[in-house]
Structures are given as C-alpha cells and as structure tokens.
C-alpha cells in the first residue's frame, strides 16, 4: 500500500479550507511520535463536533468519517454526503484493489476516523468554551475592547492564544482598530538571550495567507509562547505592554537529595 502521510489536525477556527484532500488521519503510519497529552485536553471529537454544529448546523453526520470531513470545513455547498463519499473514494485509491473490493480498506478508514477523533489533543487556536478555566481577560486602555488569553490543553506546547473581545459582551472580534503587535525584549530575561530583538507578529490566519477581510468573524487569534513580551502599538495613543504567563513546571520527584544554590 502506498505510504499515507499524516497531517496535523486542521484548525477548526481558521479560514475556509481550499482542498478536500488529504484528511488528517493515518496516525498509526506517522513517523513522528505523538506529543504528550495534557490532562486538561479534550478529545478531538469534541472540537470537531463543535465545529460541525457551528458551521453546519443542518447537516446530519452519518458516522465518524463525516464528522472528520465536516470538521475540516472543506465542504461549501451542495450534497454533503456525496462530498464525503468523494473524500472516501479518494483515500481508497491508496489501498490495493483487493482490499477495496472486500471492504477492508473502507473499514480501516472508518476505524482511523474514530481513532483520530478519540485522540486527546487541542488544536492550536481553538477558541475557549464558555466557563472554561485558564482564560484571562484584560481591558485595553482607552478602548471598548479587551485582550483574551487562553491556554487550556496547550500546556505541553508551552503556548497560549490571544484574541480581542468586546469588553461589554465578551464576544470575540477581529482586529477592532488600527494597531501593530510586536514581540519585544522581556524585562525579566537577559538581553543576550536569543530573540531579544523586536519583531512584528501577525495572526494565525494572516500567517497562513488568509486575507484580513476573509477571516471569519471573531475567528482571528494570535499564538504566543510562554514568557513572550508583547507591545500593542496604536496610532496617536500610548502603547500597551504585556507578558504572556509562564506556567509552573510540573513537580518532578528526584528523590532525597542535597541542594545548593549560587544566588
């Protein structure tokens, strides 16, 4: 059978997918070991089902394969079930004809869809659910908007995500005013460390080449590493500086030892 590559799970909150192939399956054929899951991570099924309900509320999935196809948001209009079957037929081309004929290839793809959805992972950029913990909201001075920072399920990646929300409603919005967002040297890190200079950062969507006007309403977000110092620059207004939190490392029991410090 031809090698079938594995893609990273498609981000349910990014822009519209432009191709139906390939789907993010074949985890068992990946040469890369899976990243360690966090206890706070939900299953990918929860993320994909949420995407299905949000973008395709009137489509009924027949099985897990349909959920994966819907969650990838490659479908635009027409007969969804025919579209999903077309995706399946495309993937069946990777199997020997005898396996397609006896149905074992189809059963394997269905099994892979279920295994994929049952994985514990958090797609980077997935917006937080109402009431979710590890969500921090801070008002932006002299504006009607706030920064929202969240990181549940992203602990193993040392990441946080950032977006703009309306301070009164809490609803996410895309770039509500003219600004630039910059990474700047951290006041808590030595200046000789790598990355101590200034560099502008862009949203995840813009980084993927999606034009600003094509980003779905409220979907825009930035991905920041722990400890990143940022500067929000607005024309004619004071700049705003903030630092992304650094999570406490997990407790590691190294046994009964003597410890010395140099401070």
Residue linked to tokens 């139906």: 20
Query: What is the C-alpha R_g of the chain?
Result: 22
Q: What is the pLDDT of residues 216-229, one digit of tens each?
A: 889 899 999 999 99
In order of start, what are the domains of the chain with their CATH numbers? Answer: 44-118 (no CATH), 136-244 (2.60.40)
pLDDT at site 30? 39
Rounded to whole angstroms, the Cα distance separating 135 from 154 reads 12
Span 88-106, pLDDT tens digits: 999 999 999 999 999 999 9
Residue 42, pLDDT score: 75
Nearest CA among 28, 21, 38, 36 for reference residue 1: 28
Give dist(CA 65, CA 144) in Å, integer: 42
Dihedral of alpha carbons 67, 28, 125, 85, sign: negative
CA distances 65 to 59, 70, 127, 190, 212, Å, are 14, 9, 23, 50, 31
Distance CA 148, CA 165 (A): 7
Q: Which residues of the chain have pLDDT under 70?
A: 1-41, 122, 189-196, 250-251, 263
**How much is the pLDDT for 3?**
41
Contact 224, 162 (CB under 8 A): yes
E strands, 167-258, in order: 172-173, 180-184, 199-201, 222-225, 229-233, 240-243
pLDDT of residue 131: 79
Q: What's the rounded Cα separation, in Å, for the pair 135 and 147? A: 10
150: exposed, middle or buried (C-beta count within 10 Å: 0-12, 13-18, 19+)? buried
In angstroms, how far is CA 220 from the centroid of its own chain?
11
Q: What is the pLDDT of residue 28?
A: 39
Question: Rounded to a whole number, what is the distance in angstroms from the first to the last CA of the chain?
Answer: 60
Q: Which helix (H) or strand (E) holds 111?
A: helix 104-117
Q: Please list, in sequence order, all residues whose beta carbon lies within 8 angstroms of the beta carbon of residue 94, skipping any fewer than 6 positions away.
A: 1, 2, 4
Contact 99/105 with Cβ under 8 angstroms?
yes
Question: What pLDDT is attached to residue 34?
Answer: 47
- Give the per-residue pLDDT at 26: 53
């Amino acid at each position: 059978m031809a090698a079938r590559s594995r893609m990273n799970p498609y981000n349910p909150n990014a822009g519209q997918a432009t191709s139906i192939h390939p789907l993010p399956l074949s985890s068992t054929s990946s040469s890369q070991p899976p990243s360690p899951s966090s206890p706070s991570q939900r299953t990918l099924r929860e993320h994909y089902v949420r995407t299905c309900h949000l973008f395709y509320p009137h489509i009924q999935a027949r099985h897990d394969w349909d959920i994966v196809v819907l969650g990838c948001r490659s479908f635009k209009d027409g007969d969804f079930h025919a579209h999903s079957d077309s995706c399946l037929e495309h993937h069946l081309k990777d199997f020997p004809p005898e396996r397609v004929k006896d149905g074992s290839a189809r059963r394997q793809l269905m099994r892979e869809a279920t295994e994929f959805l049952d994985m514990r992972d958090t797609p980077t950029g997935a917006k937080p659910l109402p009431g979710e913990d590890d969500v921090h909201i801070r008002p932006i001075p002299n504006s009607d908007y706030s920064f929202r920072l969240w990181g549940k399920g992203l602990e193993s990646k040392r990441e946080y995500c950032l977006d703009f929300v309306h301070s009164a409603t809490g609803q996410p919005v895309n770039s509500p005013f003219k600004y630039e967002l910059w990474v700047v040297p951290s006041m808590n890190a030595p200046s000789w460390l790598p990355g101590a200079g200034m560099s502008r950062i862009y949203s995840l969507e813009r980084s993927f080449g999606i034009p600003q006007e094509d980003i779905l309403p409220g979907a825009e977000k930035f991905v920041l590493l722990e400890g990143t110092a940022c500067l929000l620059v607005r024309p004619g207004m004071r700049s705003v500086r903030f630092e992304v939190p650094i999570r406490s490392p997990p407790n590691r029991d190294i046994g009964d030892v003597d410890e010395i410090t140099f401070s």
